[in-house]
């Protein structure tokens, strides 16, 4: 089992970073997988959350609707196969600026709030992501408050 985990890590994480043409695609996929993990964290997938994921990814990554849908499908498969959040958060942490990571956190909060309620499983996952992305607590809370404010306006 340990060997299969190591192979997965090498194939999905290390190799894409070493091939420049795949690095951006791997980063997009890792980012999208974090969004999928947030959607799934409360064990209920709502249509509003799916729409929030697609809108957030399109805005964040500058993708058209077709590319966004394809990315979400790939991210769902990656999330199904993943063994931890580290494989996704490590790519995001290494390749985004601190400001970008706070923006991502705010968009993730937006997905968590998209169904009109914040489940304790969602909150727990968001805290794990915050720690793995090394986002300061004050920025984590500020992103949460901004996302909650935006959700209430919708």
Decide if pLDDT at 58 tops 60: yes
Cα torsion 50, 83, 28, 11: sign: negative
pLDDT bucket at 152, cuts 50 / 70 / 90: confident
- What pLDDT sits at residue 86? 92
Decide if pLDDT at 13 tops 50: no
d(CA 149, CA 154): 9
Question: Which tens digit of pLDDT belongs to each residue from 98-131?
Answer: 999 999 999 999 999 998 889 999 999 999 999 9
Write out the two tokens for 1: 């089992």
Residue 147 near residue 110 (C-beta atoms within 8 A):
yes
Average predicted confidence (pLDDT) for the chain = 85
Q: Which residues of 46-79 are buried (b: 16+ CB within 10 A; e: fewer)?
A: eeebbebbbbbbbebeebeeeebeebbebbbebb
SS (H, E, C) 46-61: CHHHHHHHHHHHHHHH
Question: Which tens digit of pLDDT belongs to each residue from 64-94?
Answer: 999 899 989 999 988 888 888 998 999 999 9
For 146, other C-beta atoms within 10 Å of its C-beta total: 15
d(CA 30, CA 11): 13
* pTM, full prediction: 0.80
Residue 142 half-sphere exposure toward CB, CA atoms < 13 A? 10
């Amino acid at each position: 089992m340990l060997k299969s985990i190591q192979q997965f890590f090498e194939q999905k994480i290390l190799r894409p970073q070493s091939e420049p043409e795949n690095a951006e695609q791997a980063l997009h996929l890792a980012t999208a997988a974090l969004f999928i993990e947030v959607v799934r964290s409360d064990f209920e997938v709502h249509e509003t959350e799916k729409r929030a994921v697609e809108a957030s990814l399109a805005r964040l990554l500058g993708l058209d609707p077709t590319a966004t849908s394809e990315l979400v499908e790939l991210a769902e498969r990656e999330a199904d196969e993943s063994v931890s959040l580290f494989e996704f958060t490590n790519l995001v942490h290494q390749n985004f600026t601190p400001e970008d990571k706070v923006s991502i956190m705010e968009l993730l909060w937006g997905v968590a709030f998209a169904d009109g309620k914040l489940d304790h499983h969602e909150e727990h996952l968001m805290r794990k992501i915050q720690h793995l992305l090394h986002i300061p607590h004050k920025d984590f809370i500020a992103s949460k408050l901004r996302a909650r404010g935006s959700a209430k306006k919708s």
